[in-house]
Amino acid sequence: MKNLANHKFYEGNIYHKRFHPRVHEFKYNFYLLDIDLNYFQNLKNSFFSINKLNLLSFKTKDHFGKSDNFLENVDELLEKFNIKKTNNMRFLTLPRVLNFVFNPLSALVIFNENNEATHLLAEVHNYNNGRVIYPIILEKKGKSYTGKVTKDMYVSPFFKTDGVYEFELKYDENKLFLKIDLFEDNEYKLTAIFNSKAKNFNKKSSLNIFFKYMFSTFLVVSRTYFQAIRLFIKGLKIYTPRDQDKERRY
């Protein structure tokens, strides 16, 4: 993989499919912001700000750590998980739109000196104010990187708190593919796939993303509840969150 230059938007679609006990699937347009941490302070233009109100913005408090300095929080997180800091680290996330956002999943991807992805730190939020960060060791398999981690947070009322997530990542300067499979009791329960193409980060693309996804937070939340209602009607068992699933764990 070539070294990725500066920041990008990755725009495409998300596909969800549940396999058991009822088959249920849906697809919708989606995007992610890809932040080059070497150029974090350049993450701004007329329509995009850091820790300030704008059409689009990045807020440090939305993510791991307690400091107002995002890069300090990254360093603290790497130290916690005993992961070596490198010169090539990317953060995939949703920016705020008019100061509103809900980030189901953000990811810090760490590359070595050969530009090979070695770790993925997955930051998962739920609708109960819960947050957990999963450290995932990646292995290269052909053009993909794969890894898995034990689930330890309530996310959906129709899944158990425990299980295993398996990740597959394909990532270059033109395309981003991220697949997450969920297994419960060794049974394949769910797949979620984000497949996208890159757009340069600049004023024009920021404005385009704003108008195209200005209701993105509302749509993410409303789609989730809509699909939950459909699953409830199908008669799926409902699980409830634990106390720790309502906390922002670092």
DSSP conformation letters of 59-126: -GGGSSSSSS-HHHHHHHHHHHTT----SEEEEEEPPEETTB---SEEEEEEE-TTS-EEEEEEEEE-
Alpha-carbon distance of 86 to 137, in angstroms, equals: 15
Residue-wise pLDDT tens digits, 28-87? 899 999 999 999 999 999 999 999 999 999 999 999 888 889 999 999 999 999 999 999
- pLDDT confidence of 218, banded at 50, 70, 90? low
- pLDDT confidence of 11, banded at 50, 70, 90? very high
Stretch 189-211: mean pLDDT: 95
pLDDT cut 70: percent of the chain above it: 87
Residue 230 has pLDDT above 80, yes or no: no
Q: Is 129 left (phi over 0), alpha (psi -120 to 50) or beta?
A: left
- For position 66, what pLDDT does the model report? 81
Alpha-carbon distance of 121 to 167, in angstroms, equals: 11
- For position 9, what pLDDT does the model report? 97
- CA of 82: how far to CAs of 79, 135, 136, in Å? 5, 10, 12
- For position 3, what pLDDT does the model report? 47
Stretch 157-168: mean pLDDT: 88
Tokens of 130: 């819960």
Cβ distance 75 to 82 under 8 Å? Answer: no
Q: In terms of pLDDT, which residue wins out, 241 or 232?
A: 241
- For position 2, what pLDDT does the model report? 46
Stretch 4-9: mean pLDDT: 80
Q: In terms of pLDDT, which residue wins out, 141 or 238?
A: 141
- For position 179, what pLDDT does the model report? 98
Residue 224 has pLDDT above 60, yes or no: no
Stretch 149-157: mean pLDDT: 87
Cβ distance 122 to 136 under 8 Å? Answer: yes
- pLDDT confidence of 242, banded at 50, 70, 90? confident
Alpha-carbon distance of 166 to 183, in angstroms, equals: 8
Residue 199 has pLDDT above 50, yes or no: yes
Residue-wise pLDDT tens digits, 170-197? 998 899 999 999 999 989 999 999 999 9
Alpha-carbon distance of 99 to 184, in angstroms, equals: 36
What pTM did the predictor assign? 0.88
- For position 229, what pLDDT does the model report? 56
- For position 237, what pLDDT does the model report? 61
- pLDDT confidence of 118, banded at 50, 70, 90? very high
